[in-house]
Amino acid sequence: MKTHFQSKGRPLLLAALAGATLLAALGASSAAVALPTLTRAFSADLQQVQWVMLAYLLAVTVAIAGVGRMGDLCGSRRVLLAGLALFMLASAACALAPGLGWLIAARVAQGLGAAALMALPLALAKGLVARQRVGSAMGLLGSMSALGTAAGPALGGLLIGALGWQSAFALLALSGAVLLPMVWLAVPATPERAGARMDRAGNGLALLRAPALARALAMNLLVAAIMMATLVVGPFFLAFGLGLDAAGTGLAMAAGPAAAALSGWPAGRLTDRFGAGRTLVAGLLMAAIGLGALALLPGWTGVAGYVLGLLLLTPGFQLFLAANNTAVMLGAADAHQGLASGLLGLSRNLGFLAGAALLPLLFAALLGSPVADSSMPAIIAAFRATFLAAAGVLAVLAAWLCRPRRARRPKD
């Protein structure tokens, strides 16, 4: 029966899982563009309205591993449908929120639903897609996440400009309403484990003690931190180091998510063909070269060098993500697919939080003065040193993964 489903229903299944991943990414990115409008609508300052973003991200981070484990115990399909229904209703509540406090509370609920949309498609793809196609599925889901990140601000901006801030959340609710029956029809029932219980500390910590998984999660966190740093430091460099206006900055930065959306599925195909191990190392090396180009080329060729660096860097990240996700999911036991997927999402979100703080801190420390008061050469030099350091970290990591390993000697 599984083989029949894989041969006949796989495209619709992948479309449903891709839609869930896309919707979760849109939930994060489309709200960002609404923040200036919300400050006026609710007579609030930036520190208050930023909780519209933080509430969503923190809810996802807190819930994602637990939601993955719930999928293992209660059936991933059932939990995904529940998460999608919660996301849809919470999005409608956001659109109808009478005040900022109500909106933030609704965003918490929306983030809890989004945790299922982020965690469970990976687990379902691993369980329902033929093993030799898992890499392609992981690459497709990576592309959808990148597409949601790239398209969210543009789509949200258009809607908010035409119909008001509520329309951005109404679109998410309508999209959830369309996706819910699609998931219901396309995703087959997954087994429950009635005799098992949610961990107090057990299975999650036991999984983390497995060296291969711990290493994969640590690498995922590190790469996510560097990815986020390019999004946080990049606008300052483009605006103050290269002198671009807001439109030019946005256009230059769009090259990264666009390249990610286009390269995710091919990265998955390469993972299927050459194996996760070799593809992972190739991705790290390509990302390290891209970071080096991002660090050096803009100082010589300006914006063109920055865009070229992103176009080299981003496919390397996608190769790494497709291979690393594939290795983790293929290595996870059936009873722990959801938890492993949730841990991948957790490590990625923690990496995003770290990247938003640590590498920008290094950039600021290298500048030694506020970026607005610094000279262009000083900003270019600080940007170059920051991302050369990041390139060095990835190159060392790739070399460490390629090192010859000693075979274990059997115990007497």
The reply to whether 411 falls in a domain is no
The reply to whether 194 falls in a domain is no
What pLDDT sits at residue 88?
96
Of the candidates 25, 282, 310, which has an alpha carbon nearest to the alpha carbon of residue 141? 25
Map tokens 């329902």 to a residue.
128
Last residue of a domain, one of 143, 158, 186: 186
Rounded-to-integer distance, Cα 350 and Cα 366, Å: 24
The pTM score is: 0.75
Residues 148, 2 share a domain: yes
The reply to whether 221 falls in a domain is yes
Last residue of a domain, one of 154, 186, 218: 186
Other Cβ atoms closer than 10 A to 165: 25
Rounded-to-integer distance, Cα 66 and Cα 129, Å: 24
Rounded-to-integer distance, Cα 24 and Cα 208, Å: 26
Query: Which structural domain range is residue 150 located in?
Result: 1-186
Rounded-to-integer distance, Cα 230 and Cα 237, Å: 10
Residues 250, 160 share a domain: no
Burial state string for 259-285 with b = 16 or more CB within 10 A and e = fewer than 16: bbbbbbbbbbbbbbeeebeebbbbbbb
Residues 179, 312 share a domain: no
Residues 234, 168 share a domain: no
Residues 103, 39 share a domain: yes
Rounded-to-integer distance, Cα 359 and Cα 386, Å: 7
Spans of the chain below 70 pLDDT: 1-9, 46, 149-150, 153-154, 190-204, 206-209, 246-247, 402-412
3-state SS assignment for residue 353: helix
The reply to whether 382 falls in a domain is yes
Amino acid of residue 276: A
What pLDDT sits at residue 208?
63
Number of domains in the chain: 2
Residues 294, 269 share a domain: yes
Please write the tens of the pLDDT for every residue from 295-330. 999 989 999 999 999 999 889 988 998 899 888 888
Residues 312, 246 share a domain: yes
Rounded-to-integer distance, Cα 178 and Cα 264, Å: 25
Chain CA centroid to CA 399, Å: 25
Of the candidates 52, 18, 303, which has an alpha carbon nearest to the alpha carbon of residue 156? 52
What pLDDT sits at residue 246?
66
Last residue of a domain, one of 156, 186, 216: 186
What pLDDT sits at residue 297?
94
Rounded-to-integer distance, Cα 35 and Cα 210, Å: 42
Residues 289, 208 share a domain: yes
The reply to whether 355 falls in a domain is yes
What pLDDT sits at residue 384?
93
Name, in order, each residue with C-beta under 8 angstroms of 101's C-beta and a sequence gap of 6 or more. none
In angstroms, the Cα distances linking 163 to 169, 178, 253 are 11, 21, 26
Amino acid of residue 315: P
Residues 258, 209 share a domain: yes
What pLDDT sits at residue 206?
61
Map tokens 């497995």 to a residue.
210
Residues 213, 110 share a domain: no
The reply to whether 364 falls in a domain is yes
The reply to whether 410 falls in a domain is no
State the number of CA atoms in the 13 A half-sphere of 251 facing the CB: 7
Residues 376, 245 share a domain: yes
Instruction: Report the CATH number at residue 278.
Output: 1.20.1250.20
Residues 390, 278 share a domain: yes
